[in-house]
Amino acid sequence: MNTLTWAILIFTAGNAFEWLLRALLTIRVWRSQFHLRPDYIPETSSVAQKLSVVVAAKDEEDNIEACVTSILAQDYPNFELIVVDDRSTDRTAEILERLAADDPRMSVYHIEELPEGWCGKNHAMQHGITRASGEWVCMTDADCQLTSPNTLSLTVARATETSADMYSMIPSLELHSFWERLLQPVLGGILMIWMPPKKVNRPETPQAYANGQFMLIRKDAWQAIGTHEAIRGSLIEDIELARRIKAADKRLWVDASDDLLSTRMYTSRQQINKGWARIYRGAFGSLWGLTKAFIVLIARGLTPAIMLTIAISSLAAGPERPDLWRWTLGFAIAGQTLQWAAMMQYYHVLRSRWRYGLLYPVACAWSGGILLAAKTLLRKGATITWRGTDYSSKKHKT
């Protein structure tokens, strides 16, 4: 029994030390990572090659005008905007036609039907990019806004500077509700743990990631990897494109960003649950991949709370070595306190509210539940609903 008690004590002390390092390094690591910002000065000047911005929009009457206006306000000297209205049943088409009438750089195309085997966004993007005349193509979502007038200029320059064939930018998230502020930092962080930009940007590593809210790709590279036709049934077209770019020995690059692009991914708890389950299903791609992510998340996120519960319960039961259990309780309290300190910093730098860091164990448990829900989407009979369209898991594999 003493051996087990000592083992628990040592483990709890080690966990407290781990969270001490995390508390000390959270801000330093975040600040050391490159962030593309509006005041960034590229190392080399970029020739203003023709750029085609392509947006797919389905039932986006609440977002599309702000998105289009932010694109048309860009200072990039040579670009066109192509918006594909994908079977919208609201006022999206009407708004787009009105905006296009006022600016010759903008054109609108309407899709009435979705062919068998295609996902809606992939079909819309194939439709739009095929009509693009630019050497570079920028894909962005209808619920995104370019928050600086030089977003396009900087990203094309950065892509040129890094010799990228495909360049993606991680946006700033708009977080309004309780569930967005609590869950989105953790859910996004899970992907960044497994697909960190530093590894994604290295050609020799297998990690491939892109954020579909903003992707730049050379049109000839897009054609070389088979266009969206090659991934027509994929429910995570951004990561699939990134994987194909790397597999073709082309250069993939991802940057974090500040104040260049913003988006509000989901507005409710239900949307968060369904949306991230779909993302994880495609990003991890297998039961084993999802299981690994679940184990790491729970082991790291809930260990301080678990050890604190064990220490309090054991002391209350009158153990044989209360002195060792008091030390265990002290380390458990330290570990939980240090976890809170680290996560309050993390939530703050991601522009949530620092006090949500106190609920990090809750966010971990909830995120673990979403990873488990993603497993159910791998079943052959599963149905995935995305943007109002139902997709069969059997037909739409990654």
What's the confidence (pLDDT) of residue 248? 96
What's the confidence (pLDDT) of residue 318? 77
What's the confidence (pLDDT) of residue 187? 95
Lowest-confidence segment of 22-26, 109-113, 187-191 by average pLDDT:
22-26
170: Cβ contacts below 8 Å, ≥ 6 apart: 197, 211, 254, 255, 256, 257
Confidence of residue 237 (pLDDT cuts 50, 70, 90): very high
What's the confidence (pLDDT) of residue 42? 84
The tens digit of pLDDT for each residue in 86-107 reads: 999 999 999 999 999 999 999 9
User: CATH number of the domain at 35-177+195-267, out of 3.40.50.1100, 3.40.50.620, 1.10.1040.50, 3.90.550.10?
Assistant: 3.90.550.10
Rg (the chain; Cα; Å): 23
What's the confidence (pLDDT) of residue 23? 83
Q: What is the mean pLDDT of the chain?
A: 91
Asked whether residue 247 carries a pLDDT value surpassing 70, the answer given is yes
Cα distances (angstroms) measured from residue 77 to each of 51, 106, 156, 183, 323: 9, 14, 12, 39, 72
Percentage of the chain lying above the pLDDT 70 cut: 95
Q: How far apart, in whole angstroms, are the C-alpha atoms of residue 316 and residue 382?
A: 47
What 8-state DSSP symbol labels residue 171? P
Confidence of residue 24 (pLDDT cuts 50, 70, 90): confident
Confidence of residue 397 (pLDDT cuts 50, 70, 90): low
The tens digit of pLDDT for each residue in 187-205 reads: 999 998 899 899 999 999 9
Q: State how beta strands 106-111 and 214-218 pair.
A: unpaired
- Which amino acid is it at 93? A
Question: What does pTM read for this prediction?
Answer: 0.89
Q: How far apart, in whole angstroms, are the C-alpha atoms of residue 48 and residue 10?
A: 60
Asked whether residue 179 carries a pLDDT value surpassing 90, the answer given is yes
Q: How many helices (H) and strands (E) does the chain have?
A: 13, 13
Report the SS3 class of residue 5: helix
Confidence of residue 255 (pLDDT cuts 50, 70, 90): very high
Q: What is the pLDDT averaged over residues 363-392?
A: 85
Beta strand ranges found along 153-301 (DSSP E): 166-170, 172-173, 214-218, 252-257, 261-263
For 11, the token pair is 């483990």
For 351, the token pair is 């522009």
Q: Are the C-beta atoms of 197 and 224 separated by less than 8 Å?
A: no
Q: Which residues pair with 259 in a beta bridge?
A: none
Asked whether residue 341 carries a pLDDT value surpassing 70, the answer given is yes
Q: How far apart, in whole angstroms, are the C-alpha atoms of residue 120 and residue 228?
A: 11
What's the confidence (pLDDT) of residue 26? 72
Report the SS3 class of residue 260: coil
Q: How far apart, in whole angstroms, are the C-alpha atoms of residue 312 and residue 187?
A: 30
SS3 content of the chain, % helix, strand, coil (to 5): 55, 15, 30
The tens digit of pLDDT for each residue in 215-236 reads: 999 999 999 999 999 999 988 9
For 317, the token pair is 């039961």
The tens digit of pLDDT for each residue in 49-90 reads: 899 999 999 999 999 999 999 999 999 999 999 999 999 999
What's the confidence (pLDDT) of residue 41? 86
Q: How far apart, in whole angstroms, are the C-alpha atoms of residue 192 and residue 30?
A: 12
Asked whether residue 120 carries a pLDDT value surpassing 60, the answer given is yes
Asked whether residue 256 carries a pLDDT value surpassing 60, the answer given is yes
Query: Of 18, 16, 2, which Cα lies nearest the Cα of 324?
Result: 2
Q: How far apart, in whole angstroms, are the C-alpha atoms of residue 384 and residue 22?
A: 37
Q: What is the pLDDT averaged over residues 241-267?
A: 94
Domain parsing of the chain, residue ranges: 2-30+287-377, 35-177+195-267
Q: How far apart, in whole angstroms, are the C-alpha atoms of residue 194 and residue 191?
A: 5
Confidence of residue 163 (pLDDT cuts 50, 70, 90): very high
Asked whether residue 380 carries a pLDDT value surpassing 80, the answer given is no
Confidence of residue 33 (pLDDT cuts 50, 70, 90): confident
What's the confidence (pLDDT) of residue 45? 62
Q: What is the pLDDT averaged over residues 247-269?
A: 94
Asked whether residue 324 carries a pLDDT value surpassing 90, the answer given is no
As a residue count, the chain comes to: 398
What's the confidence (pLDDT) of residue 207? 92
What's the confidence (pLDDT) of residue 396? 55
Asked whether residue 370 carries a pLDDT value surpassing 90, the answer given is yes
